[in-house]
Amino acid sequence: MFKFFSDTYYPIFEDSSSISVMAMEDFHDYTMVILFMITMFLMIIIFNLLMSKFINKTLLAGQMLELIWTIFPMLILFFIAYPSLFYLYLSDLSISPATTIKVYGAQWYWIYEYADFKNFTYSSYLLSDDDLKSNLSKGFLGWRLLECDTRGIFPYGVEVRIMVTSQDVIHSFAIPGLSLKVDAVPGRLNWMTVHVKRPGVYYGQCAEICGVGHAFMPISIDFVSPTDYVKTIKMLKESM
């Protein structure tokens, strides 16, 4: 994502939309503070050692010092590990999902199944270059090799449980902008929850090499309001 100023551009971080992404950003900032304090402490010690003219040639052992520099790093690792494990188990926690959407990986497209609409199912294929050019001429914006002919429709503002499996080989349902990556394994059902706080279109790709069409298996998810979500799914169901 870029922000333009006159003739130059500067890269900026995209605002987080998912609760899990916000949690990871908080953990990143928390860890960076600890690393900055450790780095500054070591730099001060090294600077004092280099500038000091005094050398202790008779020091043979310092049990108290060794005890301190053994326990102190253990405490630092504990303060880093605790929030890391907290966020790890938080990402696997499902409190009360508003809806459940099943995603099937196939060579080389995705199938979305909506259990709340009598298992309504449709496929999502890569949008061809000709169709993309035609849509661009009509004012529809899309990314090459990322846009699909039919986007997956998810509601925002509520918790959504995504259940992922595969119909043939191993795939991986991955959307980096939402910190979402679930392996699609034949005969196995994996799941993950996502909670997006605002509408938008999010893109991803299959993150597991699944054959010659692996690079042409995009993911395009459109997050809409719960009301529009119900209307859109009913409209798709009537048109198919």
pLDDT at 11: 43
Phi-psi category of 167—alpha, beta or left, where left has phi over 0 and alpha has psi -120 to 50? alpha
Q: Taking the CA of residue 26 as centre, how many other CA atoms within 13 Å lie in the half-sphere pointing to its CB?
A: 10
Q: Are 109 and 217 a contacting pair, CB within 8 Å? A: yes
Task: Name the nearest CA neighbour of 158 among 201, 87, 100.
Answer: 100
pTM of the entire structure?
Answer: 0.72
230 with 224: CB under 8 angstroms? no
Q: Which pLDDT score, from 0 to 100, does residue 130 have?
A: 79
Contact yes or no for 95/201 (Cβ under 8 A):
no
Going from the N-terminus, what domains does the chain have, and what CATH number goes with each? 1-49+63-93 (1.10.287.90), 99-239 (2.60.40.420)
Q: Give CA–CA dist 39/34, Å, rounded.
A: 9
In this structure, are residues 155 and 98 in contact, taking their beta carbons and an 8 Å threshold? Answer: yes
Residue 224 and residue 230: Cα distance in Å, rounded?
Answer: 10
* Residue-by-residue pLDDT tens, the chain, 240 positions: 333 333 443 444 556 677 777 778 888 888 999 999 999 998 998 888 888 887 777 777 778 878 888 898 899 889 888 888 887 777 777 777 888 899 999 988 999 999 888 888 999 998 887 777 777 766 666 778 888 888 899 998 888 889 999 998 999 999 888 888 889 999 998 988 888 888 888 889 999 998 898 989 999 999 999 899 888 888 888 877
Separation CA 182–CA 191 (nearest Å): 7
Q: How many CB atoms lie within 10 A of CB 48?
A: 9
Cα dihedral sign, 110-114-118-120 = negative
